A and B are shown apart, each in its own frame.
Chain A
């Protein structure tokens, strides 16, 4: 069973539908008690980093921290990836989870923002999430803020410089792109997550 967290950021329909398409059983919740019993957690999200305040005020963040410490696989998508960093200049003073010790920033001026469309991955390092995903694969992105490259980065994408397209540290994973909107490659990545041992 995959627990998808509803924190009122954009809509969840696409992520839930894609998870079901790769045979996952999905439950959607905003209740920290449900999160405390999750076997696997997905934090979707498009929109503003400030939306993650909901996680803090509702006690969901504390539940996620507990489950991650217990070894439960966690996947953050888009803003869900950025939340794994220490914060974002989009919402100064609002802390992220801090799994990766760096701050997300807006793309520099001089090119179209948001970064919208299919861009390629440079896969670096071992990743369970990206197993069998060929280097150079195209994924769909849509975002104005990007996570810097850190030692947890397992795939990099270029847009006016490299940024973290996917990060992984033990059971904690995140992707900046939208696997639910990235055709068969995206579904492959979701399947990798669904098939991880609990």
Chain B
């Protein structure tokens, strides 16, 4: 049986893991390579590394971080943040990533999805969408949540799918950093609108939040950062609790 995935996300700035609370306050949480390996050993099904500064001058630092992290990792590894061109994506794949996540650049130039997909395969392209509730639906934001685009989340998710995205990573900006639970309604809206897997992100605080987003939010995977880092929850313990709520999990892991 296909299991639901628990994805550990490392937000990285200047080669160190940090975690934004609603995209603003940053606290140093450690070395990316070491944390990624620890999460994988403790049962995380995948690792995502998001470079949250990603200005052009810092690309070298990122590539080095990706190399060091990939070296010790034998689970799927996604890298996102600042990927603007096919060349940026190629450099990250060459450094050992299995998938890339694209966000702002794909909204500005949607052909980027087609380009990466046709070179590396649809399974290698995740389109990340930051959404904030607005009326019945939600609006897409870019540049780390700083800029509204006027586009509807569901409509952009559908376009990303048509262009060959393999997965959608949906972050609820309303829920992000609150530890009060995922936005299950928004996740279900997107999951039902597309045929590709949807990864829910933003708001994880306890095991019940995860089972909720799988059962009610129809997510195929869920991502969490802050909940893992400070020893709040071990992935294995977390997964055992989610499994008890009736969700298929990879156990033992």
Contacts and interface: CB of A to CB of B under 8 A. Distances in A.
Interface of A: 9-11, 13-14, 17-18, 21, 46-48, 109, 112-120, 138, 140, 142-144, 158-159, 178, 180-184, 186-187
Given A117-B3, A118-B5, A142 B123 contact: yes
Contacts of B166: 114, 116, 142
A46 to B, nearest CB: 5
B196 A114 contact: yes
Given A11-B94, A119-B1, A138-B3, A181 B123 contact: no
Interface stretch (B67-75, B103-111, B202-210): B67-75
Contacts of B253: 138, 183
B157 to A, nearest CB: 13
A159 B75 CA distance: 21
B167 interface: yes
Interface in B190-225: 195-197, 220-221
B74 A18 contact: yes
A190 B45 CA distance: 19
Interface in B205-253: 220-221, 250, 253
Contact of A114 (B76, B123, B250): B123
Contact of B196 (A14, A113, A140, A184): A113
A115 B124 CA distance: 13
B220 A13 contact: no
Interface of A: prevailing SS: mixed
Contacts of B121: 9-10, 46-48
A181 B124 contact: no
B250 to A, nearest CB: 4
Given A11-B93, A117-B45, 20 more contacts: A13-B96, A17-B70, A48-B121, A112-B196, A113-B195, A114-B122, A114-B197, A115-B2, A116-B167, A116-B220, A117-B2, A117-B3, A117-B221, A118-B45, A119-B3, A138-B253, A140-B75, A140-B76, A158-B1, A183-B40
Contacts of A180: 74
17 contacts: A10-B120, A10-B121, A17-B71, A21-B74, A46-B124, A47-B123, A112-B197, A113-B195, A116-B123, A117-B5, A119-B2, A140-B76, A142-B76, A144-B122, A181-B76, A183-B74, A183-B75
B220 to A, nearest CB: 6
Contacts of B76: 140, 142, 178, 181
B98 interface: yes
A77 to B, nearest CB: 13
A140 B206 CA distance: 25
A134 to B, nearest CB: 10
A109 B75 CA distance: 28
With a 10 A CB-CB cut-off, give which of B3, B96, B121 has the most chain A CB atoms: B121
Contacts of B74: 18, 21, 180-184, 186-187
